[in-house]
Structure 1
Amino acid sequence: MPKILVVYASMTGNTEEMAEAIVEGAKEAGAEVVSKEAFDATADELNHYDAIIIGAYTWGNGELPDEFLDFFEEMDGLDLSGKKAAVFGSGDTSYPIYCGAVDTIEAKLKELGAEIVGECIKFEYNASEEEKEQGRRLGRQIAGLVAVAG
């Protein structure tokens, strides 16, 4: 059974709701899924899963949220070669950089050798039902990819 880790940072619950939709989709596709808030996770845990899905809301003008910074910095030096990965997060279009945290996380995962699969999910404030369905599809897609690879 493929093992997937979902790590996220959520202040108002919007990013957490998307994480739940992604987890739901991955479980529907037969994956074993662990979901954690970033402050309860360690970057080393990424090594113990077939796929990783990371989400964070964007703070201010494109920045990572404070409660995500330690986890993000711990990722330095990891070798995620061969890992399937995806990124999601919420933002606010009133800022010049929309969902900048998603782009920052995606760049870090690529730098560490992870293979980004699917399109990153960016949504404003709380995800619509259509966007949550996109999250469930992403969860199913990644579960299917790691099941085939395993």
Structure 2
Amino acid sequence: MQRKAKYRLMVTRREMLYVHDEFDHTLMLVEMEGEPIEYQPGVAGKFVSRRSVTFHDRVRGTGKMMGYAITTFEEGAIYSRFEGQRDGNTKLTKGTWTVYKGLGKLQGITGSGTFTVVPGERDREYILDIEGEYELPGA
């Protein structure tokens, strides 16, 4: 089943350390909460919450990132891993995600796809566009 969604993400916590091996090399751990902008409810019902924790390794704003997200619905949840690359010049992050666990009505779900993240209009706000394929046994 093909799905698309768009979320508004807000940074709720960010810890940053400088590596000091070259100018502006940082490691960051970022926690974000999200809410849907465009989303269609599925078999697990309405959206409840989305939380992600991401590790960034950047030099002058460009670099790798990887993390985990938990998206909770009225009757289930999806746990996913993601990894990507941020371009410091365009501030665009592109990457891939994979579901590794489902709960409730989403137990046994598999899926993967792509995402993009761009800065939002407010400080600490980002817009996540996600698309991919899901498969749910018995659906």
TM (norm. structure 2) is 0.32
Larger relative CO (CA 8 A, sep 6+): 1 or 2? 1
As a proportion of its length, which structure holds more helix? 1
TM (norm. structure 1) is 0.30
As a proportion of its length, which structure holds more strand? 2
